[in-house]
Structure 1
Amino acid sequence: MLDQGFYAGHRAAGQKEVMQVGWVYDHAIDTDGLKRFHQNLTHGLLGRLIERSPLPFGRDRWVMDPQPADIDVAPCARPRAELGDWLDECTQLPLDPESGPGFRLSVLPLADGSTAVSLVLSHYVIDGIGAAIAVSQAAFDLNRDLGYPPPRSRSRVQALLEDARGAARDAAPVARAFVAAAKEARRRRNDTTRPEPTRPAAVTTNGADSPVTAPCIWIQIAMDEWNARVEALGGTNSALAAAFTARLDRHMGRQHGDSDDVTMLMTVNNRTGEDDLRAVAVSFARVNIDPLSATTDLLAARTAIRDALKTFKETQADDESEVFAPLTPFTPKRAWLQMVEYGLNDPEHPALCTSLGDTGPAAIRPDGTLCATAFARGASQHLTPRWLERIGSQLHVYFGTAVELNTVGICVCAYHPDSVTTKADLRELATRTLAEFGLTGEMN
């Protein structure tokens, strides 16, 4: 139900979120190995689509993807300097979690003899940790028969009857959810901490609804250098990543309500293992980081993260999303839009800091051989100037390690109308922020 709600809410708001994994080889790839990897992906968590119920209040179900997209190989090489542009372009290729394809694998030969590989997948099919599992299994030739039926394999009458019986079984939790929702609606009406929902500001420039991509850069830092700074500052990987996010946020000029600290959401992985078939299995812990002391001492950041995670675990049993989940099939588009507005009007305007952990040995071998560098990130499709003006600003930081490559990868996607509107702006601020922590990195 949470998967269905995540998709329904974004669909109502016109949002389309994707995940991207990128690999770069210093040479040509093993074509046969990449074809095998692609075929294996179609037999795992990525080889599925969403099929909506014919009942307006029925549950969605998973079906197999009968015709995944072929590998897209660029017809000609491009300069290495255009690698970032090509990766952005890949995130905008058509994906559809219902009609397919749910993922795309693309290859670009570069003029210096290296090769880039991009895997872009619908966030409504799988999240980042789930994608890491799927990629690793595909690289290890671990095909999985998840037992999903072909799409439209039920007659309409059969589908109506089956889904009606399912709705009847959900009657009790639905009733409890309606009561909880009524209480929450009253609470929100009396919530004076959030401003009144605002409507998208009028964009006076031409092309207000033309697709754009928010500035995004990919930073590779030597792991030895990163670990040395973690130790010198008395922190952890997560604390240093959060501190970097806080300092970059401050340089961008983002505001977080009345707080002098930088508010951010740190992802918490709820996936229970390889047999967890949920599309989205993450939660978010809210933490406040002091950006002023972060460059010289990570103890405060480390403590703030520890306390935030402790609070999250203590309150996880009271997670409202679990309580309201049974209402998903009954929620109209207008209600989804109101929930999106409520989230956009968060007075603290939190940044996002996501730890992807270590890639492991399989995830950096899409063609069966070790790549030179790798990264992962989230991205939005069909972003427009009107939407960017609506949200005001954003900062999303994804970081992960690759022990075998001896690197720490940081992907930064950011936008602020007064400070970060181009990749050049973002590179300048990121370089300045890294220097404050005594770090250097290669940026794409």
Structure 2
Amino acid sequence: MPISRARNAIRARQEGAVAVRAPGRLSVVDEIFLRTHRGLGTPIALQGLWRTTDRIEPDLLRRVHAALRTGPLGRRVVRPRIPGARRAWQANTDAHPLVLADRPLPVAALFEWADAQGADLDPEFGPGWRLSATALDDGGSLVSLTCSHALADGRALVLAIDDAMGGRSLAAGPDHARTEALDPHAVGSESDWVDARRQWSTVLRGTAKALRGGIPERPHPPTAREPVRTTGAPTHSAVLQCAVADWDRAAAAHHGTANSLFLALVANTLWATGFPNDTIDASLPVDTRDEPRVDNDLAMTDITVDRTDTPATIREKSRAAYEHRMSSPGGMPEELLQVIPDRWAYALSKGAGERDILCSNIGAMPATLRTLGPHRCLGVAARAIHPGLTAAHLPRTRLSGYLCRLADDYVLSLVSLDPDRVESGSALATFARKTLELPVRVW
């Protein structure tokens, strides 16, 4: 995107800062990720990574940083005054300073640097996102945008940077934002009292309906992990880039789709690491947006993959799974998790979406992300990282995969959470390359 276009879009955003929309109340999913931020579950931050062919000038990044401050990520969580009311979003232009590392970073240390960009994110009491960049010793640059998962899911992070770079605008009118700025406990024209009454009414009606069938069984505890022997880093990462033509040709040869090939690849990579079970349970996030917006607009479903499955059979399993999303235990209303204490809510929902692998297909990147100003992007990766996670608190998930498409390439990001079987990022990349058997470029 030309610098002049980016500059004009960012200036318009800054001049209209009062019009930024902080979307009303937190959803059930938002609050699940807010609890993980507080240590009730696995900490998760979303990250977009851009690799460019040359050095990026600081002024361009400063303008993008300024646009993000007044964009849809510029918000924080506000606690309600009335029990039962949902937490609310309030516009927040505070931001972590732009981090610019001038000393070239060895490409071999790329992920070590990227993983560190998730520190000190706080969607409630401080900035929940960070923009940073470093020069690389191959002559290019690496740019990172990281945000707490409480603020956004993977697709939402893409929409937020597209908005900041002058692509699709996500700003709303001024009335809503001014109301929240004056009284964070009145979202739009709705007070905490009104929201609390609605929440309690929904919970009581839904609970009474669920109890007609008897007292629901207690949720099954998540599968326990065996103790980890390794004392080093709990996670290791790899990014592989493959031509769309090659990927699609391989999918078609197996009577599958690009997505089912992705699922098969992640499952088979886990088996290649030495995972002993004959079946792998896969968690599949499903984008539920009916319009572009920056939030956690997703549902979860799952499939079981066995060693005889192919992209064709996985395609059929996935098609059936997308019709049956995960729901709350015993048919209880999910809003129950928002009116009870956080520790109770965590106990009821602990490990709910965790399986052996997670496969998140984020989709196509907007055209605005193919370049950063005049700088051509070699690749754009989207993934989740786990700031503060230790080997003693690893989740059930052993391997996470994230797929996106940038122009004529698919970019596959893998994060291993099994340090006993995957000792480094290069080892993870080797497992994936052997499984894929396609020409790839490893970051």
Distance 1:169 1:83, change over 3 A: closer
Partners in 2 of 1:248 and 1:354 — Cα distance?
A: 15
Partners in 2 of 1:155 and 1:22 — Cα distance?
A: 33
Aligned to 1:34: 61
Query: SS in structure 1 opposite 2:377?
Result: coil
Q: 2:78 aligns with which of 44, 51, 62?
A: 51
Query: SS in structure 2 opposite 1:262?
Result: strand
Instruction: Give the deviation of 1:332 after TM superposition.
Output: 1.8
Is residue 226 of structure 1 aligned with residue 235 of structure 2? no
Q: 1:285 aligns with which of 284, 289, 301?
A: 301
Distance 1:205 1:40, change over 3 A: closer
- The answer to whether the Cα contact below 8 Å between 1:32 and 1:367 also exists between their aligned partners in 2 is no
Deviations 1:170-200 (A, max 9, x none): 34212123335657993324x7xx5x66888
Partners in 2 of 1:374 and 1:157 — Cα distance?
A: 39
- The answer to whether the Cα contact below 8 Å between 2:234 and 2:418 also exists between their aligned partners in 1 is no
Instruction: Give the letter for the 2:183 counterpart.
Output: R
Distance 1:135 1:368, change over 3 A: farther
Q: Which runs of 5+ in 1 are unaligned?
A: none
Partners in 2 of 1:114 and 1:64 — Cα distance?
A: 35
Q: RMSD between aligned alpha carbons?
A: 3.4
Query: SS in structure 2 opposite 1:104?
Result: strand
Aligned to 2:10: none
Matches within 5 A, 1:195-344: 212-254=233-275, 260-274=278-292, 276=293, 279-294=295-310, 298-309=311-322, 311-312=323-324, 324-341=333-350, 343=352
Query: SS in structure 2 opposite 1:343?
Result: coil
Deviations 1:361-409 (A, max 9, x none): 1133343643121100011121011102xx3551111011112xx2110
Is residue 63 of structure 1 aligned with residue 90 of structure 2? yes
- The answer to whether the Cα contact below 8 Å between 2:337 and 2:345 also exists between their aligned partners in 1 is no
- The answer to whether the Cα contact below 8 Å between 1:200 and 1:386 also exists between their aligned partners in 2 is no
- The answer to whether the Cα contact below 8 Å between 1:23 and 1:117 also exists between their aligned partners in 2 is yes
- For these two proteins, the number of residue pairs brought into alignment is 412
Is residue 96 of structure 1 aligned with residue 122 of structure 2? yes
Q: 1:177 aligns with which of 181, 206, 218?
A: 206
Distance 1:150 1:431, change over 3 A: farther
Identify which range, 318-327 or 77-86, moves more after superposition. 318-327
Is residue 350 of structure 1 aligned with residue 360 of structure 2? no
Aligned to 2:11: none
State the percentage of identical aligned residues: 24
Aligned to 1:442: 441
Instruction: Give the letter for the 2:390 counterpart.
Output: T
Distance 1:203 1:353, change over 3 A: closer
Deviations 1:246-266 (A, max 9, x none): 21122233356xxx4322122
Instruction: Give the letter for the 1:306 counterpart.
Output: R
Partners in 2 of 1:268 and 1:392 — Cα distance?
A: 20
- The answer to whether the Cα contact below 8 Å between 1:375 and 1:409 also exists between their aligned partners in 2 is yes
Query: SS in structure 2 opposite 1:231?
Result: helix
Q: Which runs of 5+ in 2 are unaligned?
A: 1-26
Instruction: Give the deviation of 1:145 after TM superposition.
Output: 4.2
Query: SS in structure 1 opposite 2:157?
Result: helix
Aligned to 1:422: 424
Partners in 1 of 2:224 and 2:304 — Cα distance?
A: 28
- The answer to whether the Cα contact below 8 Å between 2:45 and 2:146 also exists between their aligned partners in 1 is yes
Partners in 1 of 2:185 and 2:319 — Cα distance?
A: 51
- The answer to whether the Cα contact below 8 Å between 1:51 and 1:62 also exists between their aligned partners in 2 is yes
- The answer to whether the Cα contact below 8 Å between 1:202 and 1:386 also exists between their aligned partners in 2 is yes
- The answer to whether the Cα contact below 8 Å between 2:234 and 2:417 also exists between their aligned partners in 1 is no
Distance 1:305 1:424, change over 3 A: same
Partners in 2 of 1:322 and 1:89 — Cα distance?
A: 40
Query: SS in structure 1 opposite 2:115?
Result: helix
Deviations 1:258-294 (A, max 9, x none): xx432212221101112x45x2111122122333353
- The answer to whether the Cα contact below 8 Å between 2:69 and 2:94 also exists between their aligned partners in 1 is no
Distance 1:322 1:165, change over 3 A: farther
Query: SS in structure 2 opposite 1:16?
Result: coil
Instruction: Give the letter for the 1:422 counterpart.
Output: S
